[in-house]
Amino acid sequence: MARPIVPAIDSFLHEPARLRVLVFLGMVESADFMYLLRQTGLSRGNLSVQMRRLEAAGLVEAAKREVDGRLRTTYALSKDGKAALRSYKETMQEILAAIPG
């Protein structure tokens, strides 16, 4: 089958809330839930759902450790997550370049 002229977008990554989280995690090494909550502006419930989905898809890795007697969960992009984000960027660049004007 011939490669489509306009590439298909990964709809899982293209979801605004998920993409937001992935872009933030792409800029840093790791961040905890509270940091992502503040930076993304998502509601606690929505962020919680997105983190679970991203973890289940293997794009994000979670690590738990105790800090000052509290359990802190930090998130980082997995190897697959980094590759998926890179591929998404390339696809979007191709699509944007194809838009006339």
Partner 1 sequence: MKPSPETRLFRAHWQDGTLDLVAGGSVLLIGIGYLFEQMLAEIVVVPLALAAWVILRRRVVEPRAGHVQFARLRRRRSARELLATVVVGIGLGALCVALVLRARAAAPTISDAVDAVPALLVAVAALVAAGLTRTWRFALYALVIAAAAAGAVLLEAGPAMPLLLGGAIVAGTGGLLLARFMAECRRGEAAE
54 vs 75: CA distance, rounded Å = 10
Q: Which is nearer to partner 1, 9 or 28 (CB)?
A: 28
Q: Which of 37, 3, 25, 40 is nearest to 81 (CA)?
A: 25
8 vs 62: CA distance, rounded Å = 29
Q: Does 72 bind partner 1 (CB under 8 A)?
A: yes
Q: Does 30 bind partner 1 (CB under 8 A)?
A: yes
73 vs 33: CA distance, rounded Å = 7
Query: In the set 62, 74, 82, 91, which binds partner 1 (CB under 8 A)?
Result: 74
Q: Does 68 bind partner 1 (CB under 8 A)?
A: yes
Shortest reach from residue 64's CB to partner 1, in Å: 13
CA 18 to the chain's CA centroid: 5
Query: In the set 6, 9, 14, 34, which binds partner 1 (CB under 8 A)?
Result: 34
Q: Which residues bind partner 1 (CB under 8 A)?
A: 23-24, 27-39, 43-44, 67-68, 72, 74
